[in-house]
Amino acid sequence: MSTRLEIQDLTHSYGGDRPALSGLTLSVEPGELVALLGPSGCGKTTALKIIAGLLSPTAGDVRIGGRSVLNVPPEQREAAMVFQKSLLFPHMTVESNVGFGLRMRGTPRGEMRERVERALRRVHMGGFATRKPAALSGGQQQRVALARALVTEPRLLLLDEPLSALDANLREGMRGLIKEVQREGKHTTVFVTHDQEEAVILADRIALVTDGHLRMYDRPEAFYDRPLNREIAEFFGAANFLHGQARNGTVETPLGALKLAIPATSGEVTLTIRPEAVRLEGGENSFSARVREATYLGTQVLYGLEASGGVALKAALPPHTRLTVGDDVLVRLPAESLWALGR
């Protein structure tokens, strides 16, 4: 059932000053879940609609299973799409909604019934077949919409922010369901979201898109540990940046000479380290600092630190850490957590 998706130099313009999508190129391996992540208006939904056949690109190509599908109508692409809103027919039962696509294809009644029942079981909605959409919660409606997509046994599953309209607790449950269904069915999946946490939890790889351009395409941990540049680091919550001069395997900074696990190329560099990687201890790459602020966040406390020369740093520490504003502390930046950003 799995298939390979290739997006080659995809560009689309709605006629404005700049294209909504510009030269997007990436591949999704069979059975892989890739998140198209980015802020509103960055072009990610445009890309999804082009893959589904709902839009024609200005330039570029979409290949499914090695074959270009630009001239293939949506219903023949073996792709199913789930939208932000469930878009269920209000006058139909859950069973009829899920089976609608099969009915349009002329699927025999007995086979259709079996496939609808199987799809509803997959999304844990087996007991809701006779209900109408109005009798369902928002999360249940999205489960039905997912079943409607799965019942056609698509090779490609396209999800356009299907969780954004749900409450936080419902989103968490649906994330787990999507991951379960995707892994079970080995569907090649493209998931559009503006939610960084959602992308990290669900995706095998993340494609970060801003202003219509692909900025980075890698596994989730790479965005935290090895961001390509400052823009990407900030998008993923980095708050600490240090300018310095790299030479002989260390970087000279206002905090002193810092060692990196992966040496930086000689010259001017910017280092980053995530707040949760900062340690309050001595050893290599350590220095003195003073606590300037403390913000309790429930699962952690975010401390604002000031080191010599007025260098400001953020440290995210466990809630049992007891520091008060004005405390002097010893801070260490572990070499394995320091990363030299590209330009």
Band of residue 216 on the pLDDT scale cut at 50, 70, 90: very high
pLDDT at 78: 87
pLDDT of 60 reads 96
Classify each residue of 102-114 as buried b or exposed e, where b means 16 or more C-beta atoms within 10 Å of its C-beta.
Answer: beeeebeeeebee
Over the stretch 175-189, which tens digit does the pLDDT of each residue have?
888 888 888 888 999
**Residue 1 confidence (pLDDT):** 61
Mean pLDDT of 255-264: 93
Q: Decide yes or no: CATH 2.40.50.140 for domain 237-340.
A: yes
Q: How confident is the model at residue 86 (pLDDT cuts 50, 70, 90)?
A: confident
Determine the average pLDDT of the residues in 185-214: 94
Using 50, 70 and 90 to split pLDDT, how confident is the model at 258? very high
Burial class (CB in 10 A: 0-12, 13-18, 19+), 188: buried
Which has more pLDDT, 334 or 103? 334
Q: How far apart are CA 269 and CA 53, in angstroms?
A: 44
Q: What is the average pLDDT value for the chain, to the nearest integer?
A: 91
Q: Rounded to whole angstroms, what are the CA distances from 184 to 2, 59, 193?
A: 11, 35, 22
Per-residue pLDDT of 285-329, as tens digits, reads 999 999 999 999 999 999 999 998 899 999 999 999 889 999 999
Per residue in 13-65, pLDDT tens?
988 778 899 999 999 999 999 999 999 889 999 999 999 999 999 999 999 99
Q: What is the pLDDT of residue 312?
A: 96
pLDDT at residue 343 in the model: 61
pLDDT of 117 reads: 92
- pLDDT at position 233: 92
Query: Is 3.40.50.300 the CATH classification of the domain at 5-225?
Result: yes
Q: Which helix (H) or strand (E) holds 47?
A: helix 44-52
124-157 core/surface letters (b: 16 or more CB in 10 A; e: else) = ebeebbeebbeebeebbbbbbbbbbbbbbebbbb
CB neighbour list of residue 241: distance below 8 Å, 6 or more residues apart: 230, 233, 270, 271, 272, 341
Residue 284 reports pLDDT greater than 90: yes
Residue 106 has what pLDDT? 86
pLDDT in tens, 12-23: 998 877 889 999
**Tokens standing for residue 63:** 């290949």
* Site of tokens 């069979």: 30
The pLDDT of residue 313: 96
118-158 pLDDT per residue, tens: 999 988 888 899 999 999 988 899 889 999 998 888 889 99
- What are the structural domain ranges in the chain? 5-225, 237-340
pLDDT band at 238 (very low <50, low <70, confident <90, very high): confident
Report the pLDDT value the prediction gives residue 170, as an integer from 0 to 100: 78
Identify residue 248 by its one-letter amino acid code: N
> What span, in angstroms and rounded, lies between the C-alpha atoms of 64 and 42?
24
Query: CA neighbours within 13 Å on the CB side: how many for 202?
Result: 34
